[in-house]
Structure 1
Amino acid sequence: MEKGVLRDKRFYKKMFAIAIPVMIQNLISSSLNMVDTIMIGKLGETQIAAVGLANQFYFLFSLFIFGVNSGCSIFTAQFWGKNDKSNIRKILGICLILGCAGGLVFNVLAFFAPEFVMRFFTKDPLVIKLGADYLKIVGWSYVITAISYAFAFSCRGIGQAKLPMITSAIALLCNTVFNYILIFGALGFPTLGVEGAAIATLIARIIEMALIIIVIYKRKGPLVGKIKEFFDFNKKFFFGVVKTMYPVVINELCWSLGMTMYSVIYARIGTEAVATYQIASTIQNIFIVAGFGLANACAVMIGNEIGAGREENAQVYGNRFVKITFVIGCITGTLLFLATTPIVEMYNVSPQVLHDTKIILRVFSFITPFRMLTSIFIVGILRSGGDVKYSFILEMSGVWIVGIPVAIVCAHVLKLPIYLVVSVVYIQEILKVMLAFPRFKSKKWIRNLVSNM
C-alpha cells in the first residue's frame, strides 16, 4: 500500500534533492534571460526582435541536445537504479558523440549562412543584419554547450543535481556581467551592442563547460573514467540506446520546429508582435521553473525504481507527482497573475507591446497548472518509463494538429491581434493533459529497458 503522500520522508528527501537544484538553475537562467532582454531592450525593439529570433536557431539546437540527453537519461536513471556504473559512462559517451556532431552542424550554419537562417524568421532587413552578426559569434558556443549538457544530464540521472545548478549559476552570472560590460561599453570596453551580447554568451558557455568537467573529475564519482570507457560500446548497445532515444530527439526537434513556426507566424504580424511574444515567453519561463524541476525529479526517481525492478513504486511515485504538480501549478499561476503588471512595466517598449504582453501573461496564469502537468506526464512519467512513442504522438498532436493550424487561422485569416492568437494556442495544453492521464492510469508506459543490457 502507498504511504500517505505527506508522510513519506524518503520520497520527499529524494524529490527535493533533485527538484530544488533544477528549479533554482532554471529560475536563475530565466531571470538572467529576462535581465538580458531588458539590457538589449535599452537598445530598442529591433534589437530585441533580432536577438530573440536569432536565439530561435539556438532554441532548435538546444532542443536537439535536450532530446539526445533526455533520451539517454532514461537509460542513465535505470542503470543507476541497477547500480551499473560502467554502462552509465557508455551512455555519457553516446551523449557526447551525438551532441557534438549536432553542435558542429549548427555551428557551420550559424557562421557561414547566418542571413539565410534569419530570413527564415523575418523579412525585416535590419533585424536580419543584427541577427546575423549575433549568430556568427554565438554559433561557436554550440559544441561547447553540447559537452556541458551531456555532463549535466548525467549528473541529474544519478541524483547529483547540485553541481549542474552551481556551474550554470556561475556561468549565467558571468554572462550578465559581460553583457553589461560589452553591450554598453562599461569599464572602458567598446560599445558592441548585439555583438557584445553574443560574445558574453560565448564566454559564459566556456566557463560553464570548464567548471563542470573540472569538478566532476576532482570528485572522482561514477561519471569519471578514461576516454576509452566512454566509447567502449558495441553496435548492439549503441543502436539499442538510439532505438529508444530517436523518438525523443524527433519529438524535441518537431516541437522546437513548432515553436519556431509560432515565431514565424507572429513575425508576419509585425515586429511589435515578435517583441511581445519574446517578452511574454521570457517571463513565463520564470513562473514554470517549478514544473521543470518536478519533471526532472520525477524522471530520475521513476527511472531508478523501474531499473531496480520496482515497477509498482513507479506508478505510486507518478501519482504523487501529478498531485503535487497540480497544486504547485495553481499557486504559481496565481502569483503570475498578481505579478504581471509590475514585471512587464520594467521593459522599455511601446504601450501596445506592454498592453498585449500583460493580456498574454494573465491568460497563461490560468493555463500554468496544465502546462506543468504536461511536463510531468511527457518528460517525468511517460518518457522516463520508456513509453517514448506515445509521448511523441501526444506532443506532436498538440503542436502540429492543434496549435500551429489554429495560430495560422487566427493570425492570417481572422487577422486577430497577437494577444488573442497566443491565448487561443494555449488550449493545446489542456488537450494534452486530457490525453496523457488515461495512458498514465493504464500502466502501459512502464518498461524496463536495462534488464538485459
Structure 2
Amino acid sequence: MAVFQDKKMNKEIFSLALPAIFEMLLHTLVWTFDTGMVGRLTPEAISSVTLGAQIMFTVSNILGALGVGTTAMVSRNIGAMNSERAENIAVQALSLGIIISLVVGSIGIILSDNIFHGLVDDPKVMKLGTEYLRIVFIGAFFLIPTMIGNSILRGAGNTYVPMISAGMANIFNIVGDYVLIFGKFGFPRMETKGAAIATAFGQIVGAIITFYYLFKTNNYIRVKVKGLFKFNREILNSLVNLSFPAILEVFMNEGSRLVSSFWIAQLGTLSYASNSITVAAESISFMPGYGFAIAATTLVGQNLGSKDVEKAEKSVNASIYYAILLMGIVGILFFAIPYPIMRLFSSDKETVFLASKCLRIGAFEQIPTAIGMTLSGALKGAGDTKGPFRISLVTNFLVRLPLIFLIVFVFKLPIIYIWVATNIQYLVEATLMTIKYKKGAWKNILID
C-alpha cells in the first residue's frame, strides 16, 4: 500500500486523469444536448444528423488513433529529457495529421452523396444527410489534427489544455446549435444545416486553442511552425509502426459495436431501445477508466524514458487502484439503484424497466473494464500497441460477436443475455491484459 501513500505520484496521476475525465464528460454532455435539440426536428432530420455524425466521428476516431504512437514517443523523450527530439516527433505527427485530414475531409465532402445513397432509401434523409455530412467534413480538416495535437500535449504531461479545448469547442457547438437550428437572435432557422455548421465551427474553435498552445512557448512542449511538413523518414516509420495497430484496434472495436447493434435490433424495438439507453449510461461509467488510462500511458512513457522502471510500475499500480475504486463505486450504484438511473435517460416505463435489468448486469463489468482500460493505456505508453490490438481482436471475434450471434439468432434469448456476454468479454480482456502486462516485456521496448 506504500505506493498509494506517495503523495507526489498521486498528484501526478490525478493531475493527468481528472482533466481527461472532464474532457470525456464534456464530449458526452455536448452529444446529449445535440441529440436533445435535433430531436425536436422531423424524423428525417433526426435520422440524417444521427447517421451523418456517426460516420464522421467514426472516421475521425479511427484516424485520430495516430495520436497513440505520438503520445508514446513524446512521453518517452520527455522522460529522457530530450525535449528537442520530442518536439521534432510532435511536428512530424502534426504534419502527418494535417495531410490525413485534408485527404479524408476532401474525400468525405466529394462522396457524401454516394455515402447516403448507399445507406438509406428515404429521398429526404438522403438530401438532408448529404448536406449535413458535407459541412461536418469541413470540420474534419481541423478535428483530426486537434486530436493529434492533444495527444502530443498528453504525452508531454499536459491534459488541461485538451480539456479546455474540448470545453470551448463544445460550448460553441451547443450555443451554435441553439441559435442556428432554431433561428434565434436574428439568425435564420437552418435546422440540420445549422447543426452541421455549429459542429464544424466548434471543431475550429477547439483547433485554435490547441494549436495556439502548441505553437507558443510553454513549460511542456513547443511545436515550431517552420518544422511543419519537413518529414523525417525514421520518425515517420516509428509513428506509423506504433500507431497502425491502434488504428486497427479502433476500427475493429467500432465495427464490432456496429455489427452488434444491427444484430440486437433483431430482438425488437423495446429491446433495442433498452439496450441503447443502457449503453448511454455505461459510456459515462467508462470515463474514470479512460482518465486513469491516459495517466498510465503518459507516466509509463516518461518513467521508461528516464530509465525508472520501478516508478513506471508503481504509477500503473496506483492508476489501476484508483480506476477500480471509482468504477467500483459506479458499479455499486448501477446494481443498487438501476431504475432511478435509467429514468434519467427515458420516460417510457417498459424501456426503463428492461434497461434497469441490463444495467444491473452491467454493474459487474466495471472492475474488469477498469483493469483492462488502464493496463491497455500502460502497455501503449511503453510502446506496445500490438499487444492490446491482438487482445481486442480475440475478445471481439472470439468472444463478443460469437456470443451475441448465438444469443440473437440461435437461442433467441432476451436482451439481458447480451449484457452477460459483454461481461464475459470485459473479463476475458482484463485477464489477457493482466497476463500480457505481468510478463514484463513492455519494460524493454525501445522507442526512438
Q: Report the TM-score when normalising by structure 1.
A: 0.88
Judged with a 3 Å threshold, the aligned counterparts in structure 2 of structure 1 residues 178 and 96 are, in CA distance, closer, same or farther, namely same
Q: 1:175-254 alignment to 2 at 5 Å?
A: 175-221=173-219, 223-254=221-252
Do the aligned partners of 1:394 and 1:432 also contact (CA within 8 Å) in 2?
yes
Q: 1:33 maps to which residue? A: 31
Distance 1:99 1:338 in 2: 45
Q: 1:388 maps to which residue? A: 385
Q: Which runs of 5+ in 1 are unaligned?
A: none
- Do structure 1's residue 10 and structure 2's residue 17 form an aligned pair? no
Q: 2:59 maps to which residue? A: 61
After TM superposition, give the deviation of residue 283 of structure 1 in Å. Answer: 3.1
- Which amino acid in structure 1 is aligned with residue 224 of structure 2? K
Q: 2:159 maps to which residue? A: 161
Do the aligned partners of 1:45 and 1:349 also contact (CA within 8 Å) in 2?
no
Q: 1:136-151 alignment to 2 at 5 Å?
A: 136-151=134-149
- Return 414-423 or 368-377, whichever deviates more: 414-423
Do the aligned partners of 2:215 and 2:225 also contact (CA within 8 Å) in 1?
no
SS across alignment from 2:2: coil
Q: Give the counterpart of 2:396 among 396, 399, 408.
A: 399
Do the aligned partners of 1:86 and 1:229 also contact (CA within 8 Å) in 2?
no
- Return 284-293 or 402-411, whichever deviates more: 402-411
Distance 1:415 1:408 in 2: 9
- Return 39-48 or 199-208, whichever deviates more: 39-48
Do the aligned partners of 1:45 and 1:275 also contact (CA within 8 Å) in 2?
no
Do the aligned partners of 1:114 and 1:135 also contact (CA within 8 Å) in 2?
yes
Do the aligned partners of 1:92 and 1:154 also contact (CA within 8 Å) in 2?
yes
After TM superposition, give the deviation of residue 354 of structure 1 in Å. Answer: 4.1
Q: Which runs of 5+ in 2 are unaligned?
A: none
Q: 1:295 maps to which residue? A: 293
After TM superposition, give the deviation of residue 209 of structure 1 in Å. Answer: 0.7
Taking every aligned residue pair, what percent have the same amino acid on both sides?
A: 25
- Return 202-211 or 243-252, whichever deviates more: 243-252
Q: 1:442 maps to which residue? A: 439
Q: 1:72 maps to which residue? A: 70
Q: 2:311 maps to which residue? A: 313
After TM superposition, give the deviation of residue 189 of structure 1 in Å. Answer: 3.0
SS across alignment from 2:227: helix
Judged with a 3 Å threshold, the aligned counterparts in structure 2 of structure 1 residues 366 and 98 are, in CA distance, closer, same or farther, namely same
Do the aligned partners of 2:179 and 2:185 also contact (CA within 8 Å) in 1?
yes
- Do structure 1's residue 361 and structure 2's residue 355 form an aligned pair? no
After TM superposition, give the deviation of residue 22 of structure 1 in Å. Answer: 0.7
Distance 1:214 1:119 in 2: 39
- Which amino acid in structure 1 is aligned with residue 14 of structure 2? F
Q: Give the counterpart of 1:427 among 416, 424, 428.
A: 424
After TM superposition, give the deviation of residue 308 of structure 1 in Å. Answer: 0.8
- Which amino acid in structure 2 is aligned with residue 382 of structure 1? L
After TM superposition, give the deviation of residue 341 of structure 1 in Å. Answer: 4.0
Do the aligned partners of 1:410 and 1:421 also contact (CA within 8 Å) in 2?
yes
SS across alignment from 1:424: helix
Distance 1:101 1:233 in 2: 12
After TM superposition, give the deviation of residue 304 of structure 1 in Å. Answer: 0.6
Would you say how many aligned residue pairs link Structure 1 and Structure 2?
Answer: 448
Distance 2:409 2:99 in 1: 38
Distance 1:325 1:115 in 2: 43
After TM superposition, give the deviation of residue 131 of structure 1 in Å. Answer: 3.7
CA-atom RMSD, angstroms? Answer: 2.9
Distance 1:315 1:210 in 2: 36
Judged with a 3 Å threshold, the aligned counterparts in structure 2 of structure 1 residues 327 and 343 are, in CA distance, closer, same or farther, namely closer
Do the aligned partners of 1:92 and 1:230 also contact (CA within 8 Å) in 2?
no
CA offsets 1:35-67 (integer angstroms, 9 cap, x no match)? 222222333666555433333323432322332
Distance 1:273 1:59 in 2: 26
Distance 1:423 1:173 in 2: 37
After TM superposition, give the deviation of residue 166 of structure 1 in Å. Answer: 1.2
CA offsets 1:162-216 (integer angstroms, 9 cap, x no match)? 1111121111111111112222333343333333222211110011111222244
CA offsets 1:84-128 (integer angstroms, 9 cap, x no match)? 122222222332233234333432443233354346666666655
- Return 297-306 or 107-116, whichever deviates more: 107-116
Q: 1:102 maps to which residue? A: 100
